[in-house]
Homo-oligomer: A and B are copies of this chain.
Amino acid sequence: MKYESTRSFIYQQQQPPPPPYLLSDQSQIKTIQYFQHSSHFSHSTPTTMSAEASSAVRVIGLWPSPFVIRVLIALKLKGVEYEFVEEQVGKKSELLLRSNPVHKKIPVLLHHGKPISESLVIVQYVDEAWSSSAAPAILPADPYTRAVHRFWAQYIDDKFPPAIRTLKGSDDGDKEQAAGQLSAALQLLEAAFVELSQGKSYFGGDGVGYLDIALVSHVGWVRAVEKIAGVALLDEAKVPNLAAWAGRLCAHAAVADAIPDADKFVEFSVKYGSFSKPINSGAK
């Protein structure tokens, strides 16, 4: 299996992108404006649904992106059917450019054609838009615990991506230092896990929570860079609780399909050298 999700769309009706301030792509994709749990929506202009917007929920992404992985896990936890619209590596689709004109980055969630960008914003949206789903809430109920989850999620996004890029060779930088930073972050998260899980399976307690999603999304690449750079990070001897948590969560029904084996990430890293330069290679 080369890609986790293989379905892709071909967009025939390519049009010039809208002014870059338009977060919404409603000018491009005519959709039925229907929000399951919205009492009001100021942007709505009910129109007919086109072929482009035939799926209620679509995710624009690439399987190895930790940020995309988050969105898929959140949707699976909530039992929301979605269509995966796969981007090509190194080539941004017209749909992506007009759905996220500000950052031009994956993931984008399209809900009845309305785009939402930034992975943690999307996870919160999924939790809130499908709040009456039979599935448990992703964010904890208690305001303080929510704040603690949000704090660590932001911490993870500050620390993990730059260190992982350095370790897989797609960014220049001191690999030893990056491994040290990642190990230090994992140590803090090991302690946070003990405190938050209270002896249960996840950061969210008995259920998979916001912080579980924020962190597990990086586990594929953490395990890959362990192989690529020959370092031990998510290691039983160093972070026993987190290592056990990762094993448990990666086997969870909502997560297993979204995070393939580390070897797949390594393969991706080697194959797309220009996007993630392999170690011990001068190739860019």
A35 within 8 A of B: yes
A145 touches B23 (CB 8 A): no
Residues of B within 8 A of A117 (CB): 151
A102 within 8 A of B: yes
A180 within 8 A of B: no
The verdict on A41 contacting B145 (CB below 8 Å), with A21-B187, A21-B192, A188-B21 known, is yes
CB distance from A167 to the nearest CB of B (A): 22
Residues of B within 8 A of A35 (CB): 142-144
**Total copies of the chain:** 2
A154 to B23, CA, bound (A): 14
A135 within 8 A of B: no
A195 within 8 A of B: yes
A188 to B24, CA, bound (A): 13
B191 touches A118 (CB 8 A): no
A20 to B191, CA, bound (A): 9
Residues of B within 8 A of A187 (CB): 21
User: What 0/1 readout, one digit per residue, does chain A (138-166) give for beta carbons within 8 Å of chain B?
Assistant: 00011111111011101100000000000
A114 to B142, CA, bound (A): 13
Enumerate the 9 nearest inter-chain pairs by beta-carbon distance, A residue then B residue, closest first: A21-B191, A128-B143, A129-B143, A125-B147, A21-B188, A121-B150, A38-B142, A116-B147, A121-B147
Chain A positions near chain B (C-beta within 8 angstroms): 19-24, 35, 37-43, 102, 111, 114, 116-118, 121-122, 124-125, 128-129, 131, 141-148, 150-152, 154-155, 187-192, 195-196, 198, 205
